Chain A
């Protein structure tokens, strides 16, 4: 393998993954979260001065600043839709290609399997990063232009939130790739990950119960489980959870490592 060979593979893999509907959908949805957050703030400021909640105007309870708008864009982006679309793109490019046998074309070539996997992970990671930018640039840029930069939410804090979200996305992509070595259909991967995260939620509730009964270790373990690790970005508002990041490190190493190990030994007919 030469560097030129690897670059060529990355280029065609990018063309393939970005050519899929799921990648375009991810970029469009991300852009909508950025622009939507901005427009929503503008609308509230303009129209809702008269709306009151608990005796005070709503506008006084909402922070109007660029970083605050970006923070809302990030919350909306990470709330369900975009992770699901990223998961779809991941499953389509791995489980889908195994299932419809188009992956075979890459595997009959003089390329080690881990390079095939690596190129997919890099391109999917770049897709995640681009969706973050598509959400960040209009919300932060537009927000600063419209509302300025004054407020309790700071630019560095919200930027860290976006950076941690990239980590969460990479973890999710890793899980999607790993599931693809078990289930050879896009729907199967999505369903199995949803089931996994539901089981994870149940387990965390159980661990919380044990912690409440006195088992000190149980709380920390629960916070390191994948469900909480994938939410590590939520700490940007002020309280980062080190256990979530520890869990994320374990998740990243084990999901990509296990995927590479399984893929190397797998029948891909």
Chain B
């Protein structure tokens, strides 16, 4: 049983009257790569700022490796929040030296290692003012790595990177998890980019955690509650008529030729098939749709629209 790396209980932050994060309970276990997901504006960055003590919280608590003291708990954390900012008139290496000094641990070889890790070893003496957005993003990750953290908190680290850069960051995170045994919390609004990466995910919507668990758990839960099926028939008009009298089945989106996707709520594929045949619809194929996490994500975060 892995112990907890990061736990929040009832974390709440309001801006004026608006709740940016609402009683957030989150649990990252040691060794996890935790995907902190949510559409833009869901409150991911706000939650991360609260965890790091950058902004005031209106309620709740944060525990990192069992430590409750906000200053001491940051000793085991390396973080990058939103777009990383630097002292741009200093070299990349000097910026990492600053980070090292504030961390209070680490030396020149840690700095070199962090630069190597993100592929900036050749450009370390240049001033950051000449760095591109992508290079700054990598330097931000390198900066989170100095100070010998056990937990990395990265807020949308692939922001501003091209597809190849995104891939490199993904590989780097996997490598940090496997080789260095780091625990990682990585936020994203793009589910596809963390789906293969994360052992666990939490999905945030309008400041609330709507689902948390391992990727498999979430998919299982999705399969048992609501199922989607593709039905193929040449009598699409008959299918549409029949659907009106079958409770629990409704079209999910536009049909495509002779194929229509149906969403099932409360009935299974077998029952649907029987009901359609009884209604005289010539069902040629009935295919349960396996969900990607992306669909689940979209469904969970747009619940009020569907």
Chain A residues engaging chain B, CB cutoff 8 angstroms = 1-2, 4-5, 8-9, 11-12, 15-16, 19-21, 100-102, 104-112, 265, 267-269
Pairwise interchain contact B54-A8, C-beta atoms closer than 8 A: no
Contact at B101–A110, with CB atoms within 8 Å?
no
Known: A105-B85, A108-B74. A12 touches B55 (CB 8 A): no
Indicate if the CB atoms of B102 and A104 lie closer than 8 Å. Answer: no
How many angstroms from the CA of A267 to the CA of B58 in the assembled complex? 12
B186 CB to closest chain A CB, in angstroms? 16
Q: Is the CB of B55 within 8 A of A267?
A: yes
Known: A19-B89, A109-B74, A110-B75. A104 touches B81 (CB 8 A): yes
Q: Could you say which residues of chain B place their CB within 8 Å of the CB of A4? A: 104
**Contact-size category for B:** 20 to 34
Q: Which of B1-9, B91-99, B286-294 contacts A (4 or more CB under 8 A)?
A: B91-99
Give every chain A residue within 8 A of B52 (Cβ-Cβ). 107-108
Closest to B52 in A: A108
Closest chain B CB from A147 CB (angstroms): 41
Q: Are A102 and B86 in contact (CB under 8 A)?
A: yes
- Cβ-defined contact, A20 with B89, below 8 A: yes
- Give the residue name and chain of the A residue nearest to B95 (CB): A105
With beta carbons under 8 angstroms apart, the residue of B79, B85, B98 that contacts A16 is: B98
Q: Is the CB of B98 within 8 A of A110?
A: no
- How far does the alpha carbon of A20 sit from the alpha carbon of B101 in the complex, in Å? 19
B89 with A108: CB separation less than 8 A: no
Number of A-B contacts (CB under 8 A): 82
Contact A5 B54 (CB under 8 A): no
Q: B-side interface residues toward A, CB under 8 Å?
A: 49, 52-56, 71-75, 77, 79, 81-87, 89-90, 94, 97-104, 143, 147
Please determine whether B102 and A19 come into contact, CB atoms closer than 8 angstroms.
no
Taken together as a complex, chains A and B put the C-alpha atoms of A16 and B88 apart, in Å, by 10
Q: State which of A5, A19, A105 has its C-beta within 8 Å of the C-beta of B104.
A: A5
Is there an interface contact between B55 and A109, defined as CB atoms closer than 8 Å?
no
Q: Contact between A15 and B94 (Cβ–Cβ < 8 Å)? A: yes
5 A-B contact pairs sorted by A residue (CB < 8 Å): A4-B104, A100-B85, A105-B85, A106-B102, A110-B75
Whether A265 pairs with B56 at a CB distance below 8 angstroms is yes
Q: Is the CB of A102 within 8 A of B79?
A: no
A126 to B65, CA, bound (A): 39
Asked if residues A12 and B53 are in contact (CB atoms below 8 Å), the reply is no
The 3 A-B residue pairs whose C-beta atoms are closest, nearest first, are: A109-B102, A110-B75, A8-B101
**CB nearest neighbor in B for A100:** B85
B54 touches A104 (CB 8 A): yes
B89 touches A267 (CB 8 A): no
What's the nearest-Cβ distance from chain B to residue A10, in Å?
Answer: 9
What are the residues of chain A within 8 A of B103 when measuring CB–CB? 109-110
Is the CB–CB distance between B104 and A108 below 8 Å? no
A19 to B89, CA, bound (A): 8
- Decide: A267 near B71, CB < 8 A? Known: A105-B102, A108-B79, A110-B103: no
- Interfacial chain B residues near A11, Cβ < 8 Å: 101
Which residues from chain B contact A269 at a C-beta distance below 8 Å?
49, 54-55
CB distance from B84 to the nearest CB of A (A): 8
Closest to B77 in A: A108
Chain B residues near A112 (CB-CB < 8 A): 71
